């Protein structure tokens, strides 16, 4: 263990017309530093996760963090991007700076503002996270890509509509207790399972309740070394972490296996010296319900093709043997691209320090995070443990 999270901040996710990217960054940057009991001048390095790709007119956004406080002037600041795993890419980059001894305190910010554009334009931007020579004409944008994945999974393993509806219902139920979630409403299994005017099919077998929400929002955290962390008021350590990048074209791999996810989980758990059964909960990347279903298999919770067992037998509920997405996940919380991975680390840190309120998993001490960019292309896993 060479790095720890010692402070954090999180905005509500959702449609925030009165906000700007700059304003969201400034708010969480200031709050995270204060939460750590530090001053802006204590920060040695800044890492910003921001996908953008056309969501906002302003690009070259790393230096926008400096707008939060004049004390940031001349600090190293870098923007990183890795599709929907951009937030975790920023977190892992910050951990590397700590490990290398290049910084004592690193501020990591994740941000996205997506809702100001028309729906079709949002879809076109998100589709850039796929391989355009093969997927550029996909109907329904990125939902269409995952609709194809769901169709392939159904063809190989049978109709999984009950499982997908159960995942959606679970995450919406969990999200009711999350004060930062975009949709805090328990929709119930029956609503998620049935096609209706309010829950139409979007792509292939995926209905509206199978798709994560377009969101605005930001999250931030402060990292430091282990020696320093022991003297802070709270600390959550990185027990293990891994990043596995896979081919962008789905044609070059078996897209129903999420092999990069499996590799990342295997490496992170090995680095942590633990097994999946040692974890108290997992926050995983449910951009679409079928993604969470396949991730059950990729993380090793169930054998290939048996993802439905994990949800239909109650394993992944808050009361199950491995709660998954007690925050409500992307499905309920929302999915502002650059902020998502940072948010997952903040939510997990809240759990591990007993500060998760109604989301709290009692006695949680060890947890895993999986954040994915594209269709299982950028795969990041963190294993976090409470220090104090």
Domain ranges of the chain: 4-117+218-229
Contact 32, 8 (CB under 8 A): yes
The strand order across the sheet containing 281-283 reads: 77-80, 45-49, 105-113, 216-224, 4-10, 236-245, 378-386, 366-373, 281-283
- Higher-pLDDT residue of 203 and 1 is 203
Alpha helices in 84-240 (DSSP H): 86-99, 119-127, 132-135, 141-157, 161-175, 189-193, 226-229
Rounded mean pLDDT, 9-28: 97
- Which residue in 22, 250, 238, 57 sits closest to 147, CA to CA? 250
pLDDT higher than 90, residue 140: no
pLDDT higher than 90, residue 141: no
Report d(CA 200, CA 208) in Å as an integer. 6
Rounded mean pLDDT, 336-348: 98
Cβ-count burial 99-138 (b if 16+ within 10 Å, e if not): eeeebbbbbbbbbbbbbbbeeeebbbbbbbbbbeeebeeb
pLDDT higher than 90, residue 116: yes
Contact 331, 325 (CB under 8 A): yes
Which stretch of 1-5, 93-97, 99-103, 153-157 has the lowest confidence by average pLDDT?
1-5
Rounded mean pLDDT, 60-66: 97
Alpha helices in 243-336 (DSSP H): 259-272, 289-298, 307-312, 329-333
Q: What are 296-300's contacts with CB under 8 Å, separation 24+?
A: 296/324, 297/257, 297/258, 298/257, 298/258, 298/259, 298/261, 298/262, 298/265, 298/376, 299/261, 299/262, 299/265, 299/368, 299/370, 300/262, 300/265, 300/266, 300/276
pLDDT higher than 90, residue 159: yes
Report d(CA 67, CA 13) in Å as an integer. 22
Q: How confident is the model at residue 1 (pLDDT cuts 50, 70, 90)?
A: confident
- Which residue in 327, 364, 320, 318 sits closest to 345, CA to CA? 327
Query: pLDDT (tens digit, 9 = 90+) per residue, 252-274?
Result: 999 999 999 999 999 999 999 99
pTM: 0.98
For the chain, the average pLDDT equals 97
Rounded mean pLDDT, 47-73: 97
Distances (CA, A) of 247 to 250, 270, 320, 343, 378: 7, 23, 34, 26, 9
Distances (CA, A) of 196 to 142, 243, 249, 387: 22, 40, 34, 47
Contact 180, 333 (CB under 8 A): yes
Query: pLDDT (tens digit, 9 = 90+) per residue, 181-217?
Result: 999 999 999 999 999 999 999 999 999 999 999 999 9
Q: How confident is the model at residue 341 (pLDDT cuts 50, 70, 90)?
A: very high
Q: Cβ of 301: how many Cβ atoms within 10 Å?
A: 23
Report d(CA 179, CA 201) in Å as an integer. 29
Cβ-count burial 355-382 (b if 16+ within 10 Å, e if not): ebeebebeebebbbbbbbbbbbbbbbbb
Rounded mean pLDDT, 346-374: 98
- Which residue in 235, 220, 349, 357 sits closest to 281, CA to CA? 349
Rounded mean pLDDT, 71-100: 98
pLDDT the model gives residue 209: 98
Report d(CA 377, CA 178) in Å as an integer. 28
Report d(CA 3, CA 235) in Å as an integer. 10
Query: pLDDT (tens digit, 9 = 90+) per residue, 314-328?
Result: 999 999 999 999 999
Residues of the chain with pLDDT > 90, as a percent, come to 98
Contact 340, 371 (CB under 8 A): yes
pLDDT higher than 90, residue 176: yes
CATH number of the domain at 4-117+218-229, please?
3.40.47.10
Sign of CA dihedral 260, 163, 85, 375: positive
pLDDT the model gives residue 230: 96
């Amino acid at each position: 263990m060479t790095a720890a999270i010692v402070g954090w901040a999180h905005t509500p996710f959702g449609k925030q017309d009165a906000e700007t990217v700059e304003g969201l960054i400034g708010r969480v940057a200031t709050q995270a530093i204060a939460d750590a009991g530090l001053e802006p001048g204590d920060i040695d390095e800044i890492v910003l996760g921001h996908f953008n790709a056309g969501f906002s007119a302003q690009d070259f956004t790393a230096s926008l963090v400096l707008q939060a406080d004049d004390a940031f002037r001349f600090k190293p600041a870098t923007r990183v991007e890795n599709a929907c795993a951009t937030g975790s890419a920023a977190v892992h980059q910050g951990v590397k700076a700590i490990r290398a001894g290049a910084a004592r305190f690193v501020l990591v910010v994740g941000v996205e503002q997506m809702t100001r554009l028309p729906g079709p334009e949002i879809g076109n931007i998100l589709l850039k996270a796929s391989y355009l020579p093969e997927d550029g004409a996909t109907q329904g944008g990125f939902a269409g890509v995952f609709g194809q994945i769901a169709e392939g999974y159904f063809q190989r393993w049978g109709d999984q509509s009950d499982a997908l509806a159960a995942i959606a219902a679970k995450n919406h139920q969990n999200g009711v207790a999350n004060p930062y979630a975009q949709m805090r409403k328990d929709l119930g299994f029956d609503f998620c399972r049935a096609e209706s005017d309010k829950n139409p099919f979007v792509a292939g077998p995926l209905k509206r309740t199978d798709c994560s929400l377009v969101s605005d929002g930001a999250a931030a955290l402060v990292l430091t070394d282990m020696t320093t962390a022991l003297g802070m008021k709270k600390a959550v350590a990185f027990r293990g972490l891994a990043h596995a990048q896979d081919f962008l074209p789905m044609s070059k791999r078996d897209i129903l296996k999420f092999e990069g996810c499996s590799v990342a989980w295997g490496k992170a758990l090995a680095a942590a010296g633990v097994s999946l059964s040692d974890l108290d909960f997992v926050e995983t990347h449910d951009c679409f319900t079928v993604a969470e279903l396949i991730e059950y298999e990729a993380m090793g919770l169930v054998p290939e093709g048996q993802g439905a067992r994990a949800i239909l037998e109650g394993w992944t509920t808050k009361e199950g043997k491995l709660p998954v997405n007690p925050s409500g996940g992307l499905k309920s919380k929302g999915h502002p691209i650059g902020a998502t991975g940072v948010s997952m680390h903040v939510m997990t840190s809240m759990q591990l320090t007993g500060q998760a309120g109604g989301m709290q998993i009692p006695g949680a001490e060890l947890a895993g995070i999986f954040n994915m960019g594209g269709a299982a292309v950028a795969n990041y896993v963190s294993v976090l443990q409470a220090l104090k």
